[in-house]
Chain A
Amino acid sequence: MEHRKRAMSAGGMIAALAAVIGAILGAAGSAAAHGERAQEPSLRMLTVQFYDTKWSTDKVPVNGEITVSGRFHVMKNWPLEIYEPGLAYLNVAVPGPVFVRVASSIGEVNGFASVKLELGQEYEYKLVLKGRLPGRYHVHPMLDVQDVGPIVGPGKWVTVEAAPAQARFVDPVTTLTGHTVDLASYGLGWVIKYHLVWLALGLAWLVYWIRKPMLMPRYEAVQSGEADQLITRGDRLAALVVLGASLMVAFGGLAIADSMFPLTIPLQSDWTRAKPLPESSAEISVEPLAATYLVPGRSMQFKLLVTNNSHEAVKLGEFTTANLRFINSAVEAADSAYPAELIAPGGLVIKAGGDEIAPGQTKEVYFEATSPIWETDRLASLVRDPTNRVGGLLMFYDSAGKRSVVEFSHEIIPTFTGPLANAY
């Protein structure tokens, strides 16, 4: 009776465990993105700013290509509590190799290897990807920065379609010796065969010993002092044969590989420096005076001292940070191909200081960037972070459409009562 109760209890527990695991697995959905909103706001707003990001298409067949290009700005006022960028590698945030990266460049340098970046500089980048596995994926440019981690650019949904005629993915590469191989499967047959040869040899050695009585009799023999009789002349001969066979396979394999592939090179690791874009912001300078986040209104509010040293009057057209864009609709139209969820509907509203800054003029400008996007993109959580600074890029335009990109960053104080304008 007791046994039966225990058995029923154990069976019940197993059933309950299976039900819990089944419920968890059943409730799990597909991952929609890459945790880009999980990163600390200060890391996203104060390190690298992506802008002008473009995706050549949002639908490609298997083996079809898509180009992701744009620029990024490495903040001059890089937070001191975050390691300064050493090497950086232009990557793609996608769910694994669902695309294949066939080309990339960063600051006119081939993106194959890592590059050194300079603070306060802007770089152009380009990624050419080829569809590999059918599906719908969120595709972000991403900059891996040594000692800092991945900094993810804006993402857009891209569909890889399995067109019947092109469904099989191929990755042809021509070597410098003139052979064209399919990198998707090249060499696998050789690797498996070679592994099987060694596995056969290893199993032969094990089977030689396992076919004899192994554990109990041998243990008793060792305990009774007869250990030396357990290794026979035949065993030593077998060891000699297997050892000789192993050496023959090892040296033979090496010789065969050398004859099949006489020209090989070591793995390549050629780190270099990326070439930044010419500086465009020297004519406009910005000194931040105050910044606050109005919690009830979900509004980031800034007071800046802007000096226009150019020969043309300029207007503030856009504030961008952490891939979000706040556009002054009076100056600039939103790019329709840019992901809509990353453009704040309320845009950028200039509340004081006028819309235009004349040549040679220094002017206090007060603007607001109001949107629930601060909450949904988890940037408002900076009020609970150890680093309370906000930063981003300001884009000024003259009447001819010439753009000046200026970075700024400033401490921020959240307010739970009223806008900064009240104190203005």
Chain B
Amino acid sequence: MAAGGQLPLRREPAASTAEEVQEIYRWFDLVIAVLLVFLFMALYHIYTMLTVGDWDFWTDWKDNRWWITLTPFLEMPMPAAALYIFWSRFRLPIAGTLLAVSLVLATWLNRYVNMHGWAYFPLNFVWPATLIPCGIVLDCTLALTQSYLLTGIVGGFAWGIIFYLANWPLITPFLQPTDLHGVMASLADLQGYHYIRTGTPEYLRIINRGTLRTFGQEPVYLSLALAGFASVLTYGIGLFIGWAFTKTQFAWFKRV
């Protein structure tokens, strides 16, 4: 340290050759990438808990109407906003996958440490859904079409559909029927019954309710259509948020 407590000024540039500049860029990329993963893990996970909540927490909430409808379209705005920022500033079609991977890592961490380690629930009762296929579809559609509009219509709709296709195999083993002392219940229902939740009584479950029962055994196709259309809509909302962020960087928010 120089006399007087002042730090010495560096006279030479940090990089003098093109290779050194590239190396600095690579380190910058890596540092930012790691920070972004942690940022998205925190933000997207909190957002998911506040919106999808119990549908993602428990197997006995993962039904073929509400879970497959609400989850994709509620989860869409944040990746769509990030998609706009990543694409408009860097031409990087990775936002959907990056957020989905961050979310999966965060939710597994939460389920293992919090719900299994602290609250004693078995992991096979509290596993999360995966949005990675949705993110991949969105990103790949953007890379192929290079159009926000087509990505919204095709990729957004596919986001809603593929959530069911990719996640239904996860819940299928838990939908086998059992006889619970004279009442038929699926294994997932039985998990909810066996593993006591003092704060989540059975009547709070929002499953298989609504007028889709008039469609007999096939409400899933209507749920999928609704999930697709709603995802297109929330894609637009997310895109607008991303656009607003890049245009104004939320200056009004900073003023507040």
Contacts and interface: CB of A to CB of B under 8 A. Distances in A.
A257 B172 CA distance: 6
A202 interface: yes
B207 A265 contact: no
B92 interface: yes
- Is chain A's interface secondary structure helix, strand, loop, or mixed overall? mixed
Contact of B101 (A174, A202, A260): A202
B198 A91 contact: yes
Contact of A179 (B25, B94, B176): B176
A239 B144 CA distance: 7
A95 B116 CA distance: 13
A422 interface: no
B186 A205 contact: no
B186 A264 contact: yes
Interface string B20-64: 001001101100110000000000000000000000000011111
A191 B175 contact: no
Contacts of B144: 236, 239-240, 243
Contact of A231 (B91, B183, B203): B91
- Is chain B's interface secondary structure helix, strand, loop, or mixed overall? helix
Interface stretch (B70-78, B117-125, B230-238, B247-255): B117-125
A214 B31 CA distance: 12
Contact of A146 (B130, B137, B174, B203): B203
A268 B184 contact: yes
Contact of B208 (A94, A177, A217, A267): A267
A191 to B, nearest CB: 5
A177 B173 CA distance: 12
B185 interface: yes
Nearest to B63: A267
Nearest to A34: B198
Given A202-B101, A227-B91, A251 B165 contact: yes
Contacts of A253: 165-166, 169
Contacts of A183: 122, 124, 187, 190-191, 194
Given A102-B194, A265-B186, A89 B122 contact: no
Given A246-B162, A263-B177, A266-B63, A97 B169 contact: no
A265 B140 contact: no
Interface-central residue, B108, B146, B173, B176, by most chain A CB under 10 Å: B176
A32 interface: no
B201 interface: yes
A266 B64 contact: yes
Contact of A187 (B5, B29, B120, B124): B124
A54 interface: no
Given A201-B132, A230-B91, A250-B165, A3 B5 contact: yes
B28 A215 contact: yes
A115 to B, nearest CB: 9
Interface residues of B, number: 85
Interface-central residue, B90, B141, B196, B197, by most chain A CB under 10 Å: B196
A202 B132 contact: yes
A185 B194 CA distance: 13
A95 to B, nearest CB: 8
A355 interface: no
B193 A101 contact: yes
Interface stretch (A192-200, A364-372, A377-385, A398-406): A192-200
Contacts of A88: 203
Contact of B33 (A98, A99, A205, A210): A210
21 contacts: A92-B196, A101-B196, A112-B189, A187-B174, A188-B127, A191-B124, A194-B170, A198-B166, A199-B104, A210-B33, A217-B25, A219-B89, A219-B90, A243-B141, A250-B162, A257-B169, A257-B172, A258-B172, A265-B177, A268-B189, A270-B183
Across chains A and B, which 9 residue pairs bring their CB atoms closest together, nearest first? A144-B201, A257-B169, A264-B175, A239-B143, A89-B201, A114-B203, A243-B140, A230-B91, A257-B172
Interface of B: 1, 5, 22, 25-26, 28-29, 32-33, 60-64, 88-94, 97-98, 100-101, 104, 108, 119-124, 127, 130, 132-133, 135-137, 139-141, 143-144, 146, 162, 165-166, 168-170, 172-191, 193-198, 201-203, 205, 207-209
